[in-house]
């Protein structure tokens, strides 16, 4: 169960879930119910075993069993990309509008979506008998579904937003300048892919080392973080670059890996492009991953009335005592059945 106290976050997540009502995917967590009680919004999601960060933490050393076979691991990475594509494309598997009149796009009210907070803590792990069944994207408090913005050329562009963004470590470089859109999610996914691969090869302790190696100033007079890029200088012509440990780790893993894992490692540089327009789109990423033939769910879903939609919220009277549930957090509800 997730509990949100901030009114803006309540409205944002509720609107996103309702906008996604007709779409479904095996790597997107479903909201089963939602209601308002004592100025808080409660949402019941499918019960997961843990989140991805916790899953990796439980497997510290390289010699420990991962709890997931290589083929299943690759399948989950592909599935996350396909789920992101569902959010970005909102039911239409096309990123170019061909429906124009005299060179001016028609208003067809097409939608697009974005998450803007992809990170290991927001990916839930579903397991059965200590074996991974699926990774699923969750937590849509930064997510939004909006109209496409069309150009005269007929190419539909992502809606740009300056609204809430996610955890700084996984933020895309363009967030430094304000407006962001769908490419932000592809950057975050590239960061998650790289950290997952470090863990899969060498365990969580190696991932901690990699995170520590990345620590440096975000910009010359800024704070330090474990991010993936840094600003070289400041001002209107400031340039950004990938941090050296990131480049080194991609090169190292590419040399050590083979087969489908190597293919995914080699895709990461196309996700971690500093310029957002140079990154792979979710559709292009899924197309590349489909060539791996992993058996992952890479199909575009048919509309479903039982997808991500929460029931209409109901309001209950305030309780006699204040709840001790942390705001904006997931609460584990034990299953005694």
For residue range 297-313, list pLDDT tens digits in order.
666 555 443 444 444 44
240 inside domain = yes
Positive/negative CA dihedral, 62, 65, 67, 70: positive
pLDDT at 18 over 80: no
Which range of residues forms the domain containing residue 247? Answer: 50-299
pLDDT at 267 over 90: yes
- 2-11, 116-125, 261-270: which has the highest mean pLDDT? 261-270
pLDDT at 315 over 90: no
Number of compact structural domains in the chain: 1
Query: Which two structure tokens, joined as six digits, stand for 331?
Result: 């609460």
Contact partners, residue 52, CB within 8 Å, separation at least 6: 120, 121, 123, 124, 125, 135, 192, 196
User: Which of the four pLDDT bands, split at 50, 70 and 90, describes residue 253?
Assistant: very high
The chain-wide mean pLDDT, for the chain, equals: 77
71 inside domain = yes
pLDDT tens digits along 181-228: 889 999 999 999 999 999 999 999 999 999 999 999 888 877 889 999
24 inside domain = no
pLDDT at 144: 67
pLDDT tens digits along 44-78: 888 899 999 999 999 887 767 778 889 999 999 99
pLDDT at 23 over 80: no
Is residue 193 within 8 Å of residue 264, measured between CB atoms?
yes
Tokens 């910009």 label which residue? Answer: 219
CA 34/CA 313 separation, integer angstroms: 6
Q: For residue 173, give the CATH number of its domain.
A: 1.10.510.10
217 inside domain = yes
Instruction: Return the minimum-mean-pLDDT range out of 79-83, 142-146, 225-229.
Output: 142-146
90 inside domain = yes
Contact partners, residue 232, CB within 8 Å, separation at least 6: 238, 239, 240, 241
pLDDT at 295: 64
pLDDT at 235: 64
Q: Which helix (H) or strand (E) holds 229?
A: strand 229-231
174 inside domain = yes
How far lies 320's CA from each of 6, 8, 59, in Å?
21, 25, 43
pLDDT at 320 over 50: no
pLDDT at 323 over 50: no
56 inside domain = yes
5 inside domain = no
pLDDT tens digits along 88-136: 887 665 443 344 333 334 345 477 788 888 999 999 999 988 889 999 9
């Amino acid at each position: 169960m997730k509990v949100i106290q901030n009114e803006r976050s309540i409205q944002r997540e509720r609107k996103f879930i309702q906008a996604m009502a007709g779409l479904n995917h095996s790597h997107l967590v479903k909201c089963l119910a939602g209601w308002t009680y004592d100025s808080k919004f409660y949402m019941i999601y499918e019960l997961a075993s843990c989140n991805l960060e916790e899953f990796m933490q439980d497997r510290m050393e390289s010699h420990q069993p991962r709890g997931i076979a290589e083929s299943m691991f690759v399948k989950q990475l592909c599935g996350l990309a396909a789920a992101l594509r569902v959010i970005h494309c909102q039911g239409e598997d096309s990123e170019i509008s061909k429906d124009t009149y005299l060179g001016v796009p028609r208003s067809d009210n097409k939608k697009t979506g974005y998450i803007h907070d992809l990170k290991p803590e927001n990916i839930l792990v579903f397991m059965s008998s200590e074996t991974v069944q699926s990774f699923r994207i969750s937590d849509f408090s930064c997510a939004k579904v909006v109209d496409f913005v069309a150009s005269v050329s007929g190419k539909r562009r992502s809606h740009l937003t300056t609204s809430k963004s996610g955890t700084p470590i996984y933020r895309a470089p363009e967030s430094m300048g304000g407006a962001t859109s769908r490419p932000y999610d592809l950057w975050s996914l590239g960061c998650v892919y790289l950290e997952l691969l470090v863990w899969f090869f060498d365990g969580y302790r190696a991932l901690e080392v990699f995170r520590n190696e990345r620590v440096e100033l975000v910009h010359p007079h800024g704070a330090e973080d474990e991010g993936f890029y840094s600003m070289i200088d400041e001002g209107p012509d400031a340039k950004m670059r990938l941090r050296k440990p990131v480049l080194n780790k991609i090169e190292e893993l590419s040399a050590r890996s083979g087969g489908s894992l190597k293919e995914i490692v080699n895709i990461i540089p196309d996700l971690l492009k500093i310029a957002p327009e140079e990154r792979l789109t979710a559709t292009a990423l899924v197309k590349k991953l489909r060539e791996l033939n992993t058996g992952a769910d890479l199909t575009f879903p048919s509309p479903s009335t039982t997808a991500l939609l929460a029931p209409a919220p109901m309001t209950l009277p305030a309780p006699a005592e204040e709840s001790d549930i942390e705001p904006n957090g997931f609460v584990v509800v034990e299953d005694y059945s």
